[in-house]
Amino acid sequence: MVLSKLIMKPFQNLSKSIKANNPFSIFTKNLSGFPLDSRNITNDLISIFTKQPFSPNNPELESLAPLLNTKVVETVLNGLKNWKIALHFFTWASNQGPYKHNVYVYNAMASILSRARQKAPLRALSMDVVNSRCLMSPGALGFLIRCLGNAGLVVEANLLFDQVQKMGLCVPNSYSYTCLLEVLSKSSCIDLLEMRLKEMHDHGWGFDKYTLTPVLQVYCNMAEFDKALDVFNEIHDRGWVDEYVFSILVLAFSKWGKVDKACELIETMEEKNVRLNKKTFCSLIYGFVKESRVDKALHLFDKMKKSGFTPDISLYDVIIGGLCVNKDVKKALCLYSEMKGFKIQPDVKIVTKLVSSFSEEEELTCFFEEMHEDMDPKASTLLYNSVLNSLVDNGSVHKAYHLLQAIMIGNCIGDGEIGKLFRGKEMVPPSSTTISIVINGLIKTGDLDLAVGLFRDMARIGCKPDLLLYNNLIDGLCTSNRLQESCGLLQEMEESGIEPTSFTNNCIFGCLCRRHDISGALHLLKKMRIHGHVPWIKHSTFLVKELCKHGKEVEACKFLVDMAEEGFQPDIVAYSACLDGLIKIQEVDQALKLFQDICAQGYCPDVIAYNILIKGLCKTQRNAEAQNLLHEMEEKGLVPSAVTYNTLIDGLCKTDHLEEAMLFLSMMIEKEREPNVITYSTLINGLCNAGRPDDALLLWNEMGRKGCTPSSIAYMAFIHGLSNCGRPNEALVYLREMEEREMKPDTYVYVGLLSAFLVDSNQPLAFEILQEMVDKGKFPDLHDKNHISVRNAILKLSEDARTSLSIKNLLAKGSIPSASLSVTGIKDGVEPAI
């Protein structure tokens, strides 16, 4: 294996692999010596798995399964261009006994998932490596760790490192540790990195430049400059400093706004005859301009030229842009002239910035006159484009439109300052690019009719629209739901010989999805498949969500099936939307079947998908199945969220399984999933409903100690729960506390308290609550379910000597709605009759 060969190389050859943008390139295999039979097996497997639609019952697969070996599987994985297909094949191969993946197969799959930034399946793969007790060399471990790190799975990489050691699957060497340090340097885990560095030292592995470089990087990333300088000095004292190490420190100073420090370090580098490379020069100049230190950028720009590096147009663009922002037009013009001296042709962006920066008409006129001298058609077009760009960028799209119209007829008659500059000058017919600038500006401002009209004028003057213009106009029309015109442009585009791109078709696909046009979307998908265009996930997901939102869950599911039959596998987000729709119409079993089908197709459902199913199961009181899904999540390497636990706790509380619910609270704390106000509110409400107000009070106090601030919903649930448990006095205390926090209780909270005080035969306090309801406008109307309870409460209060007069006064003042009077029969001294 190439990996084994790599480990045998001297350690100093690792610098390129550590600094390379693509860390996986060093593991490319040379398969020229691959046996012919194995090549045939490999090609057959690639053909079967890439053919759409894929059939797991293909008889060829059955005949190929016994021929599998790790070399074949690894080669097939490297030959598949789609990560989903690769993962599907990887999963299929793992189920073909007696075949078993080795570490190189795992690393091939890890490399694919890492490049595709697929965190969930990569996380699951790292757990599978450990669970399968796969032995590995130190180099293979390092490679796998770097795959995890490049996908941002720093925690998982660190955990894997510990697990393989603990289980005796690998004995890490200095290379393994260096890879881990490199991964940790991409995070803010300074303490963890320092611990690993000490651990490496304690195991007897010495440090070298490649060990200390990630340490320097993480200190620089976290602006720990004192520590960074200590590491830098150690690297320097050992004679390991090179351009790359210097650049890390210099760029860090620049990034954190310490421009002067960066300049001092550059001088130190020069004293030690260490030169900055061109990339670092450019990065620093960009950084200095960003920090509005154009003076430092110019100084470094001069040093760069003296070092023999030739600036490119992008660097001129950045510095001229910075000078224009600072209104230092003279220096900007000097650089503009310097460019021409270097035979670097200024582009439209640079001229646009110059044109936009002139504050005096005289300066602008001089610049125009200079450009008009010996101006050829190409230069004229550049000037037009720059002026029109400047107008569009400054929001004067209509001025740009009118100026373009004048240029098109060859007679600039505008009265504005720009029009005067062009007046009397020989006009050159505008190019397609010139017209496109204005059309794109009109599209952005929503002036589609003007944009379409200008588009039609292009043919009259002999200009041909390009692919980009067609795409922009189709996109604008589709965004405005002008589908018919978009399709007309698409047809024109094809007839003119311009091949529509994936972007073109996706604009129209998106419009069809927004219109809920399923048949139109599927018809376009067939056309896209023929051209090799992949539909954008966001559009199909939006359509599924909209269908589910409007009660068309069955149509949504069928659309996903039809998409898959066309060879386009929907995203897990679209499937999750469909699952959610099925759950909302209580089709839980159908949702479970869809979920199982998704898994069988090689998908790795995310936490959101699991949460949707768990919620559906809990709502239908299928708590045991919901808990099984939780365990399945964890087995697949997914980390349950607070929402997951809250859903399970809510389901258990509503089915009177409070002890189990409390266990999940403990589990959350153990697994560092911080319980939130919803967690505590759900449990407190459950305890109150179960007649356990003392336990509810204990949990309420614990919530406060944990720093979890109660919401208005939490207060209302707690107050209502205490009232229902016959504890109105305590409930009243929390009502006042809630009001002190400027939270407004709903009507049902007052009604619960009112009823509780009446049950407790405390009519005076009951009347006080009623009075408060009236004063705060919380008295329920006739259609409110609380109305009958309040009516009965008024009746009881009117029958009690302590409160009857107060009730009559409220009635006399009209404080209680008249509808309640007719129901209670309490008016003008008449005795109640219900």
Tokens of 141: 């471990």
Using the structure block, give the residue that is written with the tokens 């690998």. 170
Greatest CA span in the chain, whole angstroms?
108
In the chain, the percentage of residues whose pLDDT exceeds 70 is 88
Q: Which residue has the tokens 């509005």?
A: 292
Highest mean pLDDT among 54-58, 64-68, 361-365, 717-721: 717-721
Of the pLDDT bands very low, low, confident and very high (cuts 50, 70, 90), residue 7 is very low
Residue-wise pLDDT for 209-248, tens only, equals 888 888 888 888 777 878 888 888 888 778 887 777 877 8
Q: Which two tokens stand for residue 700?
A: 């309420």
Using the structure block, give the residue that is written with the tokens 């960074």.
228
* Length of the chain in terms of residues written: 834
* 5-14, 55-64, 365-374, 559-568: least confident range: 5-14
Extract the tokens encoding 177. Answer: 């540790």
Output DSSP code: residue 738. Answer: H
What are 772's two structure tokens? 């408060």
Locate all alpha helices (DSSP H) within 51-118, ordered by sequence.
Answer: 59-64, 70-79, 83-94, 103-115
Stretch 114-121: mean pLDDT = 90
Q: What is the CA radius of gyration of the chain?
A: 36
Q: pLDDT digits over 522-547, tens only?
A: 889 888 888 888 889 889 888 888 88
Q: With beta carbons less than 8 A apart as the criterion, state whether 627 and 601 touch.
A: no
Q: For 285, list phi and psi in degrees, rounded to 5.
A: -65, -45
Q: What is the pLDDT of residue 31?
A: 41
The encoded tokens of residue 138 equal 């130190």
pTM: 0.53
pLDDT at 191 > cutoff 90: no
Across the range 539-556, mean pLDDT stands at 86
Higher pLDDT, 224 or 6: 224
610: left (phi over 0), alpha (psi -120 to 50) or beta: alpha
Contacts with 344 (C-beta within 8 Å, 6 or more apart), sequence order: 312, 313, 316
Residue 716, number of CB atoms within 10 A of its CB:
23
- Alpha-carbon distance of 656 to 633, in angstroms, equals 25
- Which residue, 335, 256, 243, is CA-closest to 290? 256
Q: Are the beta carbons of 616 and 588 closer than 8 angstroms? A: yes
Q: How buried is 612 (Cβ within 10 angstroms: 0-12 exposed, 13-18 middle, 19+ buried)?
A: buried
Residue 468, pLDDT above cutoff 70: yes
Residue 14 scores a pLDDT above 50: no
Burial bucket for residue 422 (CB in 10 Å: 0-12, 13-18, 19+):
buried
124 close to 637: Cβ distance less than 8 angstroms: yes
Alpha carbon 154 to its chain's center:
18
Question: Shortest CA distance to 442 belongs to which of 400, 382, 403?
Answer: 400
Whether the predicted pLDDT of 150 surpasses 80: yes
**Tokens for 314?**
């992008």
How is residue 387 written in tokens? Answer: 């002026």
Q: For residue 98, which phi and psi values (nearest 5 degrees)?
A: -90, 10
pLDDT at 10 over 60: no
